[in-house]
Structure 1
Amino acid sequence: MSDKLKKYEKIDRAAVKITYGAAVSILAALLVWGLFLMVNFWKYEETNDAQVKEYINPILSRASGYVQEIRFNDHQKIQKGDTLLVLDIEEANVKLLEAKAALTTAKARLKVLQSNVKTSSGSSSISHAKISAAKAQLWQQQQEFARYQKLLEGEAVTQQQFENVKTKLEVAESNYQAIQNSFSVSQDKTQDVTAEVAVAKANIEQKKAALERINLEIKYAVITAPSDGTMGNKSLQQGQYIQKGQTIGFMVDKKQGKWIVANFEETQIAKMKEGQEAKITIDAFPNKSFHGKIESFSPATGSQFSLLPTDNATGNFVKITQRFPVRIQFTDNDALLEKLRAGMNAEVSIPKK
């Protein structure tokens, strides 16, 4: 029995030593970890409320029509100018023919009106020439009438002869007045036709604009990539009708680059400044650290840009620490940056200075 007791005592002593050693190791690890956190807290401002950001641009249709071809797939890499979508343009081609015919008709009408202007202007010139002849004839009849009136007073002519001369004078006056009226009417007609010419020219410009608009619709029927990037999800189907201004998809714009938006508490940003260095860790790549610098600070807290910002004047005030979005630009030229995607979570540390 004594040997068994001694054996159990040795086992108990060994278990106590192991437990004691494990407890000391855990305590030491906790002390080191706590010391590390204290040093970090003393040296850095940190936040885990941060994400990778990229410009996500909507691609809009500038024309209406039925989808004839879809030339992109989900998450496909594209380059500027690549064709993404083709709309059916058969209806637009019919409108184009109608617009061309309307323009031809308008031009033909303009030629007719311009010819009418020349004809009316020629008639006006003839009427003006006739006025001079009628005026001369009237003057002659007036002189004749004055002579016969004196002769009648001296009884050198008969009353019948005098009345014949008087009638000729009245005819000359009427003829002169008629020719003047005809000249005035011809001038008015010329002005009217000239005004119609101006209207016809304006109508031609309108038809040209309509034709140009249809040509633009045909051009816009081919929707191309506005820049280099990667497409999002495809939500269209062939044969689907889309409206002008409708979003056909979204693309991540490669040329705009990537950056970090870190939401620091308002108590952390007092000593931060633009251009300050930052250390970035992405959750998807925990063993890799990236470097960046502060590019700008938001002009207001994040809550102020929400659809319904909180109003502390309601009387139900609860003081909550606000956060300010801080934009941080990557300064690395690491190939791993290409693997970063918008929305990835990150942690950001900024040295206190």
Structure 2
Amino acid sequence: MTSSTSTPRRLTGRTAFKLALLVAVVALCLVWGGMAILHRLSHVSAQDARVMANQVTVSSRLSGWVTDFSIIEGDRLERGDTVAKLYSEPDEQKLATLQASVEAMQARLDHQEARLALANRQFQGGLNIANQQLAASKAAEQAAQARLEQARSDYSRSDELLKQHSVSQQQRDRDYYTLEAAQAEAHQASQEVAVNQAQADNAHLGFLNGVQAPLPNPEVLRFQRDVARKELAQAKAKLNQERLRIADLQVPSPSAGVVNKTLIDQGEYVGAGQPILMMHDPDKLWVEARIKETDISELRLDQPVAIAVDAFPDESFSGHITNIGRAATSQFALLPDPNPSGNFTKITQRLPVRIAFDKGPIDLIGPGMMVNVDIDVSGAGPRHG
């Protein structure tokens, strides 16, 4: 009878490899699960976020036929570029008419200015003559008064000497007649001074005597000049108004950006305020994520965000929180549910969060693209304010 002894069964190499592989897989699953749990505790994610931009609608201020519109979706515009042109031939003709009217008003004003300058010189010349005549008559009056005083003195002396029989009667009579003539001359000189004074006073009012006066009084011409100035200003205002209208017939781009959608075709008739196209500034994009209200307490401004754009999965984008909404998006629905039946089902609401781009090829993306956001809340401190 033979005895048998049992020996431990050794693992083959294939079995050992399978066991090691199983242990490795289990360890990786545990590590992955731990990392997933840690990531969930330190991050807030959203898969339905979108790229947003300020949409600018370009419209015409005036009505008219579109004679030039060749922009297509995707074109890039600079600020001030012409978006569309409206029919402007009648306005161009009106502008030429108003320009001619302004030139005619300017010529009329120049003519009035020249007449006024000539009238002022004419007025000043007549005034100078009147003043010179007045001065000459006053000098003649003074001379006549001097002769009168001399004649009066001579007569008084000869009259006294006659009483003393020192002069003859004939000498006294000659002195008397000389005095009479001097008095008449002085009276005449005084009258001439009065007349010349009146003429000088009238000259200040524009009534010139002895001066050729082909032009009206300067005051009248000054009034006519002021009227011409006002008419010129009115004509210039109409001209500027027509220039603004013609400028409005060319619709400019209000800002730099990319065309999202065109709303008209060349040859259409557009009304004032009718949208022509929609555009956005590609340098001013952001992400709007709708975060569950149960996670909103973890968010803070300036928290870093990892952004994954569905259209470019191989590209890396990053940003930070710039604004946290305080009203649920359901409040702004077109048809809000007032719950009239009284039945209530509690639904987790979502609040909008704005995220600014910091890094990444932003020129590749556009508004409306779907993105995933991963917000790092591990460093969230106490909420302030």
Give the TM-score band, short-chain normalised.
Answer: 0.5 to 0.7
Secondary structure of the corresponding residue to residue 98 of structure 2 = helix
Residue 191 of structure 2: aligned partner: 170
Q: What do residues 71-106 of structure 1 show as CA deviations (whole Å, max 9, x unaligned)?
A: 235x35344376532111112212212221122122
1:7 aligned partner: none
Offset, 1:260? 0.8
Aligned twin of 2:322: 296
In the TM superposition, what whole-angstrom CA distance separates every residue of 1:86-138 from its partner, at most 9, and x where no partner exists?
11111221221222112212221222122122222222221232112222113
- Per the TM alignment, residue 294 of structure 1 is displaced from its structure 2 partner at its CA by 0.7
Partner of 1:260: 287
Matches within 5 A, 1:52-91: 52-61=51-60, 65-73=64-72, 75-80=73-78, 83-91=82-90
Partner-residue secondary structure (3-state), 1:156 = helix
CA spacing shift, 1:200–1:166, aligned 2, 3 Å: same
1:351 and 2:376 matched: yes
Q: What letter matches 2:193 in structure 1?
A: A
Instruction: Report the secondary structure of 1:139's partner residue.
Output: helix
Secondary structure of the structure 2 residue equivalent to 1:238? coil
CA distance in 2, matches of 1:107, 1:185: 28
User: What is the Cα deviation at residue 190 of structure 1?
Assistant: 3.9
Counterparts in 2 of 1:87 and 1:292: CA distance versus 1, 3 Å:
same
Which residue among 338, 354, 357 is the counterpart of 1:326?
A: 354
Q: Match of 1:238?
A: 267
One-letter amino acid of the counterpart of residue 227, structure 1: A
Contact 1:67–1:237 (CA<8 Å) still a contact in 2? yes
1:77 maps to amino acid: D
Instruction: Specify the alignment match of 2:343 in structure 1.
Output: none
- 98-107 vs 205-214, greater mean Cα deviation: 205-214
Structure 1 unpaired stretches of 5+: 1-30, 309-317
Map 1:221-232 → 2, pairs under 5 A = 221-225=249-253, 226-232=255-261
The answer for the alignment partner of 1:251 in structure 2 is: 279
Aligned residues: 303
Could you say what secondary structure the match of 2:256 adopts?
A: coil
The answer as to whether partners of 2:303 and 2:377 remain within 8 angstroms in 1 is no
Question: Aligned residue for 2:367?
Answer: 342
Superposed CA RMSD in Å reads: 4.5
The CA deviation at 1:45 is: 0.7
The residue identity in structure 1 corresponding to 2:259 is T
- Partner residue, 2:246: 218
Q: Is the 8 A contact 2:66 2:86 kept in 1?
A: yes
Q: Given residue 203 of structure 2, which amino acid in structure 1 is its aligned partner? A: S
**Structure whose CA Rg is larger:** 2
Q: Give, in whole Å, the separation in 1 of the partners of 2:251 and 2:268.
A: 15
Question: What do residues 153-201 of structure 1 show as CA deviations (whole Å, max 9, x unaligned)?
Answer: 9653697995675355324312222223213438995466457656755
TM-score in terms of structure 1 length: 0.66
Given that residues 303 and 376 in structure 2 are in contact (C-alpha distance below 8 angstroms), is that contact kept between their aligned partners in structure 1?
no
The residue number in structure 2 matching 1:312 is none
Contact 1:50 1:262 in 2 (8 A): yes
**Identity of counterpart residues, as a percentage?**
17
Q: Please show how residues 142-161 of structure 1 align to structure 2 within 5 Å.
A: 143-144=143-144, 147-148=147-148, 155-156=176-177
Instruction: Report the equivalent of 1:108.
Output: 107
Structure 1 position 341, deviation (Å):
4.3
